[in-house]
Amino acid sequence: MTGERTERRPSEDEVTIALAQLEIEAGDVPGNVDRALAAISRAADRGVDLVALPELFTVGYFAFDLYERHAEPFAGETFTRLREAAADHDVAVLAGSIVEDLAATEAVPTPAEEGLANTAALFDSSGELELVYRKHHLFGYESAERELLVPGERLETADVGGFTVGVTTCYDLRFPELYRELVDAGAELICVPSAWPYPRIEHWETLSRARAIENQCYVATINGSGSFADATLLGRSSVYDPWGVAVASSGDEPTIVTTTIEPSRVESVREEFPALQDRRS
């Protein structure tokens, strides 16, 4: 299933998710946020339960020289507008991530008292904060992220429509132990806001599929679209089921990928093939 779908979820045991593969323009924070809000509105009109946005959709991941200029406190304009959009449209919103100014953030615990973080937030359909995730693994290969940002420490889960949801970000896909921690915490759906560039298509698809297979859970990868001075995002936002089958995917153009998933599917796969029970420490 590729692209935009319009049907509403047919039963209470199903959750419809929308992956907003946005066109991201470097440094155009107002335009990027407006595109995110428009995608939330369109997805909500189709009756989805959760809309997920890409990594650093505000400033653009590869616009490293603009991070400090566009950093915001957690309660700044972007998360405030997305929180309000969630409540206005009665839909949960995973605010992919922004550059957070930790020194200006209050009431959201973090060991770091200053610096910048790559921060995602999950708001429920009434606009209440359910989960905060600051990217744990910072990319150093041909990237300034590790020099500019502070790694996160918190790892939380939240409930969305009967699903226990966890969040990781982009480069985290290469570190399977993080996903094991989330599964041990009960995660059945792991969302991965990302800014994954060409040419590493095989890595993107293989790692995402592997995280779903080895943890017997849904993995939803939300990538951006667009080009920067030194990189082009490859898109291909996808949802993998607990067998590792891609049940929804896209190309590299801006789109909204939607699909319906079932919490009971996770339970049935784990019962049929109980690999997680055979783990040894």
Burial annotation 80-96 (CB, 10 A radius, 16+ → b, else e): ebbbebbeebebbbbbb
Residue 246 CB partners (closer than 8 Å, separation 6+): 209, 238, 239, 240
- The pairing of strands 232-234 and 225-227 is antiparallel
- Among the listed residues 135, 188, 205, 217, the single catalytic one is 135
Closest CA to 15 of 264, 272, 268, 269: 264
Does the annotation mark 135 as catalytic? yes
- Among the listed residues 14, 100, 145, 170, the single catalytic one is 170
Does the annotation mark 170 as catalytic? yes
- Burial class from Cβ neighbours inside 10 Å (0-12, 13-18, 19+) for residue 277 reads exposed
Helices (H), the chain: 29-45, 67-70, 77-89, 145-148, 176-184, 201-215, 263-272
Question: How many Cβ atoms from other residues are within 10 Å of residue 3's Cβ?
Answer: 14
Query: Could you give the CA distance from residue 242 to residue 211 in angstroms, rounded to a whole number?
Result: 9
Q: Give the Cα-Cα-Cα angle 87, 91, 94 (nearest 5 degrees).
A: 100
Active site residues: 55, 135, 170
